[in-house]
Amino acid sequence: MFRTIKLKLPYDPSILETGRQFREACQMVLDYGFSAHTFNKNKLNRATYEDVRRRISTLSSALVQTARDTASDALKQTKLRKEIRRKSLTIRYDRRTFKFYPDSHTISLTTVHGRLVFPIANSPLMEKYSGEYTNAQVSIDVKQRRMFVMVQVEVDKGVENKAETRDVKVVGIDRGIKNIAVLSNNKFFNSAHLKDVKGRYRYNRKKLQHAGTKSAHRKLKELGGRERRFVLDTNHVISKQIVNLPFNLFALEDLESAGMRTKRNGRRFNHKLGSWSPYQLEQFIKYKAEDMGKAVVCVNPKYTSQKCYRCGFIDRNNRNGSIFHCKNCGFELHADLNASRNIGVLGKSGYFRLLSTSQSLRSDESMPTGMREDSSKPTPLGVGS
Ligand SMILES: [Zn+2]
């Protein structure tokens, strides 16, 4: 699938002159094609190439060829019914004549002064679409003194599904003890039922341990298996409900990165909820989400519970038990809900960072702004205006 990224270029005399020569080359082919009544590229090439090269010697051979293609397309479009006078200074580029470096925000273009590198303005689309950049078009507006480059991207399908900003619907998930999971869309999964059942098991276990008979021992073993299956089942049910929600990106705290997977925390969870573990839930969410083509990201949980979702103010005292009350802006919310919303925001940006890293791995080397790619010709830098 193809996508186009429109980027602003500096208004540059080398590009302007290239546009003029490109138009002239185009016009020569248009005139021939109309008089010979053909838009066949091979015929046009055979008849005009040498002529164009001789008359416009500073236009590179590759640009002469794209000018011929441009002319051929125009002739085809008008079905050779009328003569065409080309006014547009638009230049067509292909993989021989341009290279796009999204990481360094530069693009190198073949011009009448050789290959030059130009800085380009930032665009959110550069992060959004990664893939192969095979075609480009430079448009020149002389009146407004503006130049743009439209870079065509062949978007990798897998990446695009996940990469479209507007299509990413994130939900943040905060895991805890009182609430197994609190979602940023106001959904709470509390642990009351889990605790109830766990309590019953504990009570029965104690009774059986007390009896101490052989049959009690056997029953105790059975009970252990049933309890494990119950926990497993609970995590299956919750994770299934979560991944079935209309979101395609699930953000969780990376418990390990914050050192939360310590013995102390393990005990904290264990004491309250028996063998229930937030890690099992995480694993289930991960594999169920992936099965559905949805994504899961883990974020650094530092400050997620202290930071105000509304104003970003971070303070330990913002949180008081289950209430979050911002000392800066007065924002008040359930503390787990505030955390889950912070997790959601972090998850979304973390996800796009991941995507752009995989993009930078794909494009070869990056080049610093203002450097020339080809130093064989003594020409000015491609930074104009
Ligand atoms: Zn605040």
- Successive 10-residue mean pLDDT values, the chain, 385 residues: 83 96 97 96 96 96 96 94 94 94 83 90 70 89 91 67 64 89 93 82 87 87 85 90 94 72 48 66 90 87 87 87 91 94 88 64 33 34 33
103 occurs within a structural domain: yes
How far is residue 153's CA from residue 80's CA, in Å, rounded to a whole number?
31
Q: What is the pLDDT of residue 375?
A: 33
108 occurs within a structural domain: yes
CATH code of the domain covering residue 287: 3.30.420
Q: How far is the CA of 322 from the centre of ligand 1 (A)?
A: 16
Tokens 């979304």 locate to: 348
Q: How far is the CA of 319 from the centre of ligand 1 (A)?
A: 11
Whether residue 24 is found in the same domain as residue 138: yes
Contact 221, 374 (CB under 8 A): no
Of 140, 162, 184, which one is at a domain's C-terminal end?
A: 162
Whether residue 242 is found in the same domain as residue 173: yes
Whether residue 187 is found in the same domain as residue 103: no
Whether residue 177 is found in the same domain as residue 139: no
Q: Which token pair is 380?
A: 């000015």
Q: What is the pLDDT of residue 161?
A: 44
Whether residue 181 is found in the same domain as residue 258: yes
Q: How far is the CA of 310 from the centre of ligand 1 (A)?
A: 5
Whether residue 134 is found in the same domain as residue 154: yes
30 occurs within a structural domain: yes
206 occurs within a structural domain: no
Q: How far is the CA of 169 from the centre of ligand 1 (A)?
A: 24
Task: Provide the H-helix boundaries in 308-366.
Answer: 335-362
Q: How far is the CA of 297 from the centre of ligand 1 (A)?
A: 25
Whether residue 82 is found in the same domain as residue 26: yes
Whether residue 177 is found in the same domain as residue 116: no
Q: How far is the CA of 24 from the centre of ligand 1 (A)?
A: 61
How far is residue 269's CA from residue 177's CA, in Å, rounded to a whole number?
7
212 occurs within a structural domain: no
Give the chain's domain count: 2
- Interior angle at CA 185, CA 182 and CA 187, nearest 5: 45
Q: How far is the CA of 230 from the centre of ligand 1 (A)?
A: 40
Q: How far is the CA of 325 from the centre of ligand 1 (A)?
A: 8
Q: What is the CA radius of gyration of the chain?
A: 32
Q: What is the largest CA-CA distance in the chain?
A: 107
Q: What is the pLDDT of residue 108?
A: 93
- Our measurement of the distance from residue 370's CA atom to the centroid of its chain's CA atoms, rounded to an integer in Å, reads 27
Q: How far is the CA of 332 from the centre of ligand 1 (A)?
A: 8
DSSP 307: B
Compute the residue count for the chain: 385
- Interior angle at CA 334, CA 330 and CA 338, nearest 5: 75
> Half-sphere exposure of 8 toward its Cβ, with a 13 Å CA cutoff?
11
25 occurs within a structural domain: yes
Residue 158 exposed, middle or buried by CB count within 10 Å (0-12, 13-18, 19+): exposed
Q: What is the pLDDT of residue 223?
A: 85
Query: Whole domain around residue 93: which residue ranges?
Result: 2-162
Whether residue 322 is found in the same domain as residue 339: yes
Q: Write the CA distances from 36 to 85, 96, 107, 319, integer angstroms.
A: 16, 29, 38, 81
Whether residue 355 is found in the same domain as residue 313: yes
Q: Write the CA distances from 244 to 150, 202, 238, integer angstroms.
A: 39, 32, 10
Contact 331, 285 (CB under 8 A): no
Of 162, 185, 211, which one is at a domain's C-terminal end?
A: 162
Query: Which residues touch 351 (CB under 8 Å, ≥6 apart)?
Result: 162, 168, 170, 249, 251, 295, 297
Of 142, 162, 182, which one is at a domain's C-terminal end?
A: 162
Whether residue 337 is found in the same domain as residue 267: yes
- Interior angle at CA 357, CA 94 and CA 365, nearest 5: 45
How far is residue 222's CA from residue 232's CA, in Å, rounded to a whole number?
15
Using alpha carbons, select from 8, 110, 133 the residue that is nearest to residue 374: 110
Amino acid at 243: V
Q: How far is the CA of 11 from the centre of ligand 1 (A)?
A: 44
305 occurs within a structural domain: yes
Whether residue 101 is found in the same domain as residue 175: no
152 occurs within a structural domain: yes
Helices vs. strands in the chain: H and E counts, helices first: 10, 15
